[in-house]
């Protein structure tokens, strides 16, 4: 982690989960931090833990979906530190619901935060990453940016979009010769509260899926953060986090689109008693 000593790192969604773990690991590595979240209490707790580790910390309440707020946050960070080396666009929310049952506003909310939040963070900080001469942009997609599953259409759409956006941007940096390395992160099941705090169409929560997530989420947020930081240090284009992400990435590449039928069968079983309109078998 000494690689990050004295580097200025920006983390969105730092109030909990992987964002908090990224901030703490970077603090241990001697980085200077700029963190944001919509959760003031969680953000303050993260800042306090990082300060205890000796890291300079700038914290700001920011909704990544609000473009002007992100632009103002970038200006604030540069005014404080004079440079930005790393940006981790990590903020995200989860939502469950079929296309039929989901309201437009539900899908828009997921896209606004999970996709447009990444675009806003990228656009706000890209000039400063280029100016640093050694910039690193790390955008969080998901294992659900590699394959689709039922009831995750909004989340899938956002995370597939992050993947496409990030992969295209990485190539643009290579073409232009700009001094910015771009990485796309695909976490598998990470033991955070994102699923527990998720919303759902018509107020229904798929308890079968949530129970399964608790069982298969084998990677802690701290371990995930370390894997992300190691991948970013190496400049990896695609950072797979957790053994499940690696297995599913391999399976989808081998199976192609035929992965969809077995996943649909599994989903039908898990959702058979949920109240979102999917019938029992």
Which residues participate in catalysis according to the annotation?
155
CA distance 259 to 276: 24
**Residue that has been written with the tokens 């900080």 in this structure:** 125
DSSP state, residue 97:
B
> Which secondary structure element, helix H or strand E, spans residue 240, and what is its range?
strand 238-241
**Residue that has been written with the tokens 């001094």 in this structure:** 179
Whole-angstrom CA distances from 188 to 116, 146, 211, 245, 246 are 21, 10, 16, 5, 8
For 212, other C-beta atoms within 10 Å of its C-beta total 15
Those residues whose C-beta lies under 8 Å from the C-beta of residue 40, and which sit 6 or more positions away, are: 15, 61
Pairing relation of β-strands 86-89 and 190-191?
unpaired
């Amino acid at each position: 982690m000494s690689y990050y000593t004295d580097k200025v790192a920006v983390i969105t969604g730092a109030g909990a989960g992987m964002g908090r773990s990224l901030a703490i690991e970077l603090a241990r590595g001697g980085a200077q931090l700029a963190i944001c979240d919509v959760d003031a209490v969680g953000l303050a707790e993260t800042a306090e833990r990082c300060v205890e580790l000796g890291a300079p910390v700038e914290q700001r309440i920011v909704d990544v979906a609000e473009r002007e707020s992100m632009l103002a946050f970038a200006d604030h960070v540069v005014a404080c530190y004079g440079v930005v080396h790393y940006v981790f666009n990590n903020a995200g929310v989860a939502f469950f619901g079929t296309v039929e049952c989901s309201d437009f506003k539900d899908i828009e909310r997921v896209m606004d935060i999970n996709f447009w939040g990444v675009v806003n963070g990228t656009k706000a900080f890209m000039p400063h990453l280029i100016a640093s001469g050694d910039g690193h942009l790390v955008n969080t997609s998901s294992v659900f940016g590699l394959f689709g599953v039922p009831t995750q259409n909004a989340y899938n759409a956002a995370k597939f979009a992050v993947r496409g956006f990030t992969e295209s941007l990485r190539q643009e940096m290579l073409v232009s010769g700009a001094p910015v390395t771009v990485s796309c992160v695909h976490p598998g099941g990470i033991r955070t509260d994102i699923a527990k705090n998720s919303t759902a169409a018509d107020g229904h929560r798929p308890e079968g899926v949530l129970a399964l997530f608790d069982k298969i989420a084998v990677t802690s947020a701290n371990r995930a953060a370390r894997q992300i930081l190691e991948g970013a240090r190496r400049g990896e284009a695609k950072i797979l986090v957790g053994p499940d992400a690696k297995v599913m990435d391999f399976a989808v590449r081998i199976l192609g689109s035929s992965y969809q039928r077995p996943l649909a069968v599994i989903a039908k079983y898990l959702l058979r008693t949920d109240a979102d309109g999917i019938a029992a078998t």
